[in-house]
Structures are given as C-alpha cells and as structure tokens.
Amino acid sequence: MAKKTKLVIEKHNLIPKHSVCNDKEKQQVYEKYGTTEREMPKISSQDAALASLKVKKHDLIKIEREDGFSGKTVFYRVVADE
C-alpha cells in the first residue's frame, strides 16, 4: 500500500507568501491607498493559502508574489468570513 503524503500548500513554489498584518500595518495600508476595509478585495478564511495562519474576519492579509520580470509585488486582502 502506498504511503500518503500531506501537501503543505504554503510551501508550494507557486503559492505566494501570505502574512497577517498587525493593527499598525493595517492602518498604514488604508492611509497609503486612501481606502477602507470595506473597499478592499476579500479573501476567504477557508482559502488553502491561509491554512497555517490563524486568521479571523477583518484581518488584513499581505500577499507577496515574486516575479522574475518585475521583482516582488505586494497585494492586500481582507478576510471576509470565519
């Protein structure tokens, strides 16, 4: 019988780094982009990339995507549900 291996999605080379912003970072992002939590793009708390993070509704997630052409690109998403 074949041994089952568990896929750790956060370690996959195609999954960008996800991290939870603290309150200070959150405020800085909203001020920098002149936006509010309500206007930010959303991400589900059930998203596989967030599996190892302890997220809750209203958390701001920083997503850092490496690109060989333009370097690092940063995106932000607000956790929309629990």
Which domains, ranges and CATH numbers included, belong to the chain?
Answer: 16-79 (3.90.940.20)
Strand, coil or helix: what is 19?
strand
Q: Give tens-digit pLDDT for 16-54.
A: 889 999 999 999 999 999 999 999 999 999 988 888 889
CA 16/CA 66 separation, integer angstroms: 7
CA 16/CA 40 separation, integer angstroms: 19
Q: Give tens-digit pLDDT for 66-82.
A: 887 878 899 999 999 86
pTM of the model: 0.81
